[in-house]
Amino acid sequence: MDFDLSEDQRLTREALRQFLKRECPIAYVRACDEGERFPAELFAALARGGWLGIPIAEAHGGSGGSCTDLALFLEELAAHFEAAANIYYTTVVIAADAIGHFGNEEQKRTLLPRLARGEIRFAFSLSEPNSGSDAAALRTLAVREGDEWVINGQKMFCSCAQVADHVLLMARTDPAAPKHQGITMFLLDPRTPGVEIRRLRKLGLKPMDLNEIFLTDVRLPATAVIGEVNRGWTNVLKTLDYERCCLSAVNVGAARSCLDKALAYTMEREQFGQKIASFQLTRAKLADMEMEIDAARLLLYRSAALVDRGVPNNKESAIANLYSSETYVRAALNGMRMMGGWGYLMEYDMQRHFRDSKLAEIGGGTSEILRIVISREMMR
């Protein structure tokens, strides 16, 4: 297997690094985190530079990047600003994938070019108060009335809904169907009468708002359906490998940032008359971090390569997602340990990683669910 990057990929990554050094300095990252502020300026710059079009086909205004291209981009972005990488995935990638694969020609023509230019943002809403890991147990109900759908229900944990122009909303359209059937994806304008969005307070990823959505007699036209009616869950399943690659890339990049910060600190900090990087226990922690991050990256690249070849990789993508998420959590925890009291202070960046990393083991599938997925695939 060839794990080397192409010349174009190396040049693109270097261009991205220079772009992020210029447009996303650490002072900006800290300001967005402390102010719980959406990084609008960064995303405007990403749009100007054409970076928002990576997951969008050239025919619809994007650059038509591969899954590997997207993974490389998200890893680098997360290494600079992990919340921004999560926001990119939430507001750009999910919509580009869903509409690109399942939208009709009119939806692709009108929405994808504007998404690539940064003119519109999306959010994705699946979870509900009573359906988290058991996501297909959703109860939000959409009833057909003539040329409209009337939707009632409540959604939870919807990232970026407050800054979104459209929400990809999953709702039940056939209550009599089995749990994993009778679900449809809708394109919801959050300004539609009957929609109420409330922001939830959370531990980390402060620049990416988290919301609950209340839907009361919300009326949507029949043209708001994305894909086939009652086939929404099947469509979601088809994109899981792609989703897990993206989340793994974010985890790898963020974990790399933890290692870079921990290494820099231990090379400067002196105790007992020597740099703490010279202590064997410190070196062992650094070596473990390097080893685990490298392994997570290889798992990511394998999964992305399988996606690009069109090979189903439910097990491989779950392994990459699980291992990379737990690697990020361990990297942040070890970084805190090596920095001691300094890592506990809000003026240093390790505490942000410590707060942000925990969601990696929850969002996109908990560690427990991913282990079930892996074991189930082993027994087929």
Residues 180 and 201 in one domain: yes
What is the extent of the structural domain holding 276? Answer: 239-378
DSSP structure class, residue 131: B
254 is a domain residue: yes
Q: How confident is the model at residue 295 (pLDDT cuts 50, 70, 90)?
A: very high
Q: Is 1 within a domain? A: no
Name the band, by pLDDT with cuts 50, 70 and 90, for residue 131. Answer: very high
What pLDDT score does 249 carry?
98
185 & 248 share domain:
no
Domain membership of residue 132 (yes or no) is: yes
Contact 153, 139 (CB under 8 A): yes
Q: Is 76 tagged catalytic?
A: no
- What does DSSP assign to residue 144? E
CATH number at residue 207: 2.40.110.10
Tell me, yes or no, whether 373 and 270 share the same domain.
yes
Q: What single-letter amino acid sits at 340? A: G
Both 15 and 127 in a single domain?
Answer: no
Q: Are 118 and 255 in contact (CB under 8 A)?
A: no
The pLDDT, as a whole number, for residue 204 is 97
User: Is 269 in the same domain as 363?
Assistant: yes
Q: What is the percent of the chain where pLDDT is above 70?
A: 100
Give CA–CA dist 162/87, Å, rounded.
12
Burial of 342 (0-12, 13-18, 19+ CB in 10 A): middle
- Domain check: are 360 and 258 in the same one? yes
Number of domains in the chain: 3
**pLDDT greater than 70 at residue 360:** yes
Q: Looking at residue 269, which CATH number applies to its domain? A: 1.20.140.10
Query: CA 85, 75, 56: angle at the middle one, nearest 5?
Result: 65
CA distances to 82, 210, 233, 323, 380 from 79, in Å:
6, 22, 32, 17, 37
Residues 147 and 187 reside in one and the same domain? yes
* 28 and 40 in a common domain: yes
Percentage of the residues of the chain whose pLDDT score is greater than 90: 94
Q: What is the pTM of this model?
A: 0.96
**Three-state secondary structure call for residue 159:** strand
Report pLDDT for 315.
Answer: 96
Please report whether residue 137 resides in a domain: yes
Residue 167 has pLDDT above 70, yes or no: yes
Which residues share a beta bridge with 128?
Answer: 131
Distance CA 199, CA 127 (A): 15
pLDDT tens digit sequence for 19-72: 999 999 999 999 999 999 999 999 999 999 999 999 999 999 999 999 999 999
- Asked if residue 374 and residue 331 are part of one domain, the reply reads yes
Q: Do 84 and 13 have their domain in common?
A: yes
Residue at which a domain ends, from 98, 120, 142: 120
Domain boundary among 200, 230, 260: 230
Is the same domain home to 97 and 213?
no
Task: Measure the CA–CA gap between 222 and 182, rounded to whole angstroms.
Answer: 16
Candidate list 76, 82, 212, 243, residue with the active-site label? 243
Which among 222, 102, 209, 228 is positioned nearest to 151, based on CA atoms?
A: 222
User: Are 74 and 136 within one domain?
Assistant: no
Q: Is 2 contained in some domain?
A: no
Give the CATH number of the domain where residue 88 resides: 1.10.540.10
Domain final residue pick, 86, 120, 154: 120
pLDDT of residue 1: 66
89-126 tens-digit pLDDT: 999 999 999 999 999 999 999 999 999 999 999 999 99
Nearest 5°: the CA angle 65, 67, 69 is 55
176: its two tokens: 């009599």
